[in-house]
Every structure is written in C-alpha cells, then in structure tokens.
Structure 1
C-alpha cells in the first residue's frame, strides 16, 4: 500500500478479525418527500467480544453491550436514479455536503429534472456511468483507535456491501470532529492526510475536492485485499 498507518495492528488490544460492522437503515413503507430517492445508512464499527467478556464491564457482570464495544461509526447516503425526484433537490434536502457532491457529479442544466444526469467529466471518469450514486458521508473513530487504518478497512468492507447497483462511490475528505474551521491553520494538512487514507481505499481525486471510486474496476478490490492482509488475513 502507498499509505502506511502510523500505528501497526500489533499495537491493538484485539485482533483484526474482532472488528465488526453493523448496518442500519430505516424508512417508511410508503415513501414521502424524498425518501424514494435518498437512502441513508449508518454503519457501526465495533470490537466484537464473545465468551471472554467485554473490556468495559466488570468480569462478574453480564455485558450490556450485546455483540460488541462501539469504536466508531460511518454514514452513507445512496442517491437513487429513475425516481420522480430531481437528485439535486433530494440531496439538498439532506445536507449541504451531500448537495455539493451531487452537484459536482451531475450536469447543472438538468438540476431540476427527475433522476441523475451525469456531467460530461463524470461520464469520462466512470467506466459505466449508469446506476445510483453512493456517498460516503462520514467516517468517525474514537480517538484511541485512530491511525491504525481501521477506518480504511471498514470503508472498503462497507462499500463492497452497499455499492451494489451504484456506478460510483463519492466522498469529500475532511476532518469530522469539528476541530478545524475551513480557513483555520492545520485544516488543509488534516484534509490531505485523510485524502491519502481514502486513496488507499481506491478513491481518486475528481473535481472541487470530491473523490470518486469506480466499483466496476479491479483497483478497489485490490485495495480491499491489501487492507485485509494488513490486518492479518492471509
């Protein structure tokens, strides 16, 4: 890998196979507003614990954290094509960050036309520009678990499971803790470090700070295999 985490997996108090991802999404059975177009997923990152107990509970107590100890979380937004909603309007109803990514990837001439209408630059970048858009909105880890590469490993696995039917995955590398304002010293350096992490997952710089991953290519699969090996899979 081009990117090597500052802290090796050997310093973790648990094995890489104990990192567990838990997916959740909810929506009304009869969609209203933009819920037919905009699908939100939350993905918990946990340290699995079984018969050996939980590090956060006393040895003789029954564990209240069923299935694992939370160490981080991710959020993804899927923008569906072929619905009655303009994709830009649906994205704008969610957050400004999601709206920006959709705007960068689509043709502004069709902003208020139902569906996803890709920009010429997007169509040149993506191998088969037909399908939904998956946006990796946020990846957050507790401070004590950072700089091992856990976020990168979790991202590769979540993308593999959530990107079916999507022609691209998009993100905008940026700090998630609110430690920096956009114009504060250190923000650009932090942003560059995070961009290196997502490049190691398979994302490539596109336009205006947005990065794209093409799930149809072999490169993201190779990146996923590299991260699995980094955490001990042979």
Structure 2
C-alpha cells in the first residue's frame, strides 16, 4: 500500500471493529423518469458498539445507542445497463459530475441509445466490460477523524457490497465540496493527495481525471484486505 495515513489507526480512541456502514436506498414501486436506470445509494459511516463493547465509555455515550455516532458518509450512483433508458441521459439528469464520468466511459455516438455503450478505451481497460457502472460520487469523513484511513477502509468495504453486477467502479478524485475551490492554488495538490487514497483502494487513472476500479480483478480485493489489516483485522 503506497499511501500511508498521516495518523496511525491505533491512535484512534476506538477500535476498527466499532466502525459500521449503514446503507440506504429507496425508490417508488412504479419508477418514473430515469429511476429504473439510476440508483442513488447513501452509506453512513458510524461508530457503534453494544452494551459490552467498550468499558471506557460511560452509559450515556451516544456510540452505545442504536443510531450510532456519525463519523462520515458516502454517496454512490449506479447506472444500470439493459434498461429502456440511455445511460448517458439518465446520468445527465442527475448531476454534471455523474454525466462527466459516464461520458468519459462511453461512446458518444450512442449517447441517446438505450443502455450503456462503452468506449473502445474503456473496453481495453476493463477485464469484462459488460454490466452496470458504479460511481463513487462523494466520500466525506468528519474533520476530526481524517488522516487515519477511515475513508479508504469504508470505500473498499462499500464497493465490495455495492459492485455486484457492475463491470467497473468509477470516481473523480476531488476535495470534499466546500473544502477547496477548483481555481485555488491548493486544489491540484489536494486532488493528487486524494487520488493516492483511492489508488490504495484499487482505483487506477483512466482518462480526463476519471479513475476506474475493475471488481473482476484480484487487486481491489488485496487492497481491501490490506486496509482491514491496517485497522486491526489479522
């Protein structure tokens, strides 16, 4: 793992086994517009343990409660293939960031054709370019918990759960919204630092600032194992 967190996991005031991911997704029973093609998933990153989980915590500690204590959150978008909607049009209806990623990965000549039609470059990069596209849209860890690698661990675990049936996972490394502006001098340095984090999860640079992870390869699984070990799983 080339990326080394600036703070060691053992410096956290809680154990890695206290980190829990909670997934949420909802849709109408009768989809309208592009809801049959685009799925927006939210993943809460929580600190939680049961009554016997931490003798150091007082009984009123919020991390004992069922809701847990939020330490971050992630947003994923899944673009489903083999639907009646053009994948690019569904992405364009959501946000410009999602539209850009889908545009980079697909053939513009088929933008208004139902489904996902990959570009030649994408098909060369991905081992089995058939299936849905999972996009890691946002990852945010609360400021006091940054620098430990929690975001990388959470991303690796969430991708493991959400990428079934997807031929690729895509993202565009960028600072959390509000932390930096694109025209500020420190933006590119912050962007490069975040790219290193996502490379430690298994992403690789693709095109126009977009990174891809191939879930069919062993490399992402190895990255996930290394992060698990980093947080204490042996």
- Give the TM-score range, shorter chain: over 0.9
The CA distance in 2 between the partners of 1:65 and 1:228, in whole Å, is: 25
Deviation at 1:43, TM superposition (A): 0.3
Q: Quote the residue 1:159 is aligned against.
A: 159
Number of aligned residues: 233
Q: How does 1:47-196 map to 2 (within 5 A)?
A: 47-51=47-51, 59=59, 65-196=65-196
CA, structure 1 residues 158+9, in 2 after alignment: closer, same or farther (shift >3 Å)? same
Deviation at 1:223, TM superposition (A): 0.3
CA, structure 1 residues 92+18, in 2 after alignment: closer, same or farther (shift >3 Å)? same
The CA distance in 2 between the partners of 1:66 and 1:225, in whole Å, is: 28
Deviation at 1:116, TM superposition (A): 0.1
The CA distance in 1 between the partners of 2:65 and 2:85, in whole Å, is: 40
TM-score scaled to structure 1, two decimals?
A: 0.95
The CA distance in 2 between the partners of 1:48 and 1:105, in whole Å, is: 38
SS of aligned partner of 2:207: coil
The CA distance in 2 between the partners of 1:46 and 1:60, in whole Å, is: 17
The CA distance in 2 between the partners of 1:75 and 1:141, in whole Å, is: 12
Deviation at 1:180, TM superposition (A): 1.6
SS of aligned partner of 1:22: strand
SS of aligned partner of 1:169: strand
The CA distance in 2 between the partners of 1:94 and 1:58, in whole Å, is: 44
Q: For residues 174-228 of structure 1, what are the alpha-carbon distances to aligned partners after superposition, in whole Å with 9 as ceiling and x for unaligned?
A: 0113122111110000000000000000000000000000000000000000000
Q: Quote the residue 1:28 is aligned against.
A: 28
Unmatched runs of 5 consecutive residues or more in structure 1: none
The CA distance in 1 between the partners of 2:46 and 2:63, in whole Å, is: 14
Deviation at 1:61, TM superposition (A): 8.2
The CA distance in 1 between the partners of 2:197 and 2:31, in whole Å, is: 36
Deviation at 1:150, TM superposition (A): 0.2
Deviation at 1:63, TM superposition (A): 7.7
The CA distance in 1 between the partners of 2:63 and 2:145, in whole Å, is: 21
CA, structure 1 residues 218+63, in 2 after alignment: closer, same or farther (shift >3 Å)? closer
Q: Quote the residue 1:217 is aligned against.
A: 217
- On the 8 A contact 1:40/1:77 being kept in 2, the answer is yes
Unmatched runs of 5 consecutive residues or more in structure 2: none
The CA distance in 2 between the partners of 1:141 and 1:83, in whole Å, is: 34
Deviation at 1:100, TM superposition (A): 0.2
TM-score scaled to structure 2, two decimals?
A: 0.95
The CA distance in 1 between the partners of 2:211 and 2:198, in whole Å, is: 8
Deviation at 1:49, TM superposition (A): 2.5
- On the 8 A contact 2:175/2:191 being kept in 1, the answer is yes
